[in-house]
Amino acid sequence: MAVLPILHHPDPRLRIKARPVVDFGESLQRLIDDMFETMYDAPGVGLAATQVGVDLRVAVMDAGGDGQPDPQVLINPVIVEASDKQEMDEGCLSVPEVGDKVQRYNKLKLQALDRHGKLYEVEVEGLRAQAIQHEIDHLDGKLYIDYLSSLKRERILKKLRKLAARDAA
Ligand code: NI
């Protein structure tokens, strides 16, 4: 397993709409393991393949939060029902050191494939529901900052450019 480099906004690769997974072979299994290691290392609640420069509809999540690991793999995920829109605090590993409030559905029903290609359906709420919407957005080339005002987005971009300059120094 390996920790993969996470792309940061405004990297254009974060804007690619990822392709559905059709091959559940060894390279997908390695990708999933590496994504989990990268997410836990960051640490983060979720990570989409788009964020590590891989053009496939794969995301990993762990929204356990109570000390118990709860790893979840989402492949070709689809939200089939959503309700109870709320404002939630959100952040992203590709937009480091900042966060803001975003409208998300608090409850949803998800259909996705597991790492072996088996279809599953779950009903989730709260942080899990929020993280699923966030990760599916990544797979569609979207970032949570797209929902903010252009003024806020501009401020975030400035801050990220400063951070990048600091890290390069
Ligand atoms: Ni993110």
Find the CATH number of the domain harbouring 110.
3.90.45.10
Which residues, given as ranges, of the chain have pLDDT below 50?
Answer: none
The pLDDT of residue 118: 98
In a domain, 84, yes or no: yes
Q: Can you read off the two tokens belonging to residue 107?
A: 């409850």
**Cβ(47)–Cβ(14) under 8 Å?**
no
The pLDDT of residue 79: 98
- Residue numbers of the domain that contains 66: 12-168
Does 135 qualify as catalytic in the annotation?
yes
In a domain, 68, yes or no: yes
Q: How many domains does the chain have?
A: 1
In a domain, 118, yes or no: yes
The pLDDT of residue 123: 97
The pLDDT of residue 67: 74
The pLDDT of residue 42: 96
Q: How far is the CA of 54 from the centre of ligand 1 (A)?
A: 14
Q: How far is the CA of 60 from the centre of ligand 1 (A)?
A: 11
Q: How far is the CA of 87 from the centre of ligand 1 (A)?
A: 17
* Overall pTM > 0.85: yes
The pLDDT of residue 39: 97
In a domain, 2, yes or no: no
Active-site residue among 87, 90, 135, 154? 135
In a domain, 97, yes or no: yes
Q: In a 10 Å sphere around its CB, with 0-12 CB exposed, 13-18 middle and 19+ buried, how is residue 104 labelled?
A: buried
The pLDDT of residue 168: 84
**Which value, in Å, is the radius of gyration of the alpha carbons in the chain?**
16
Q: How far is the CA of 35 from the centre of ligand 1 (A)?
A: 13
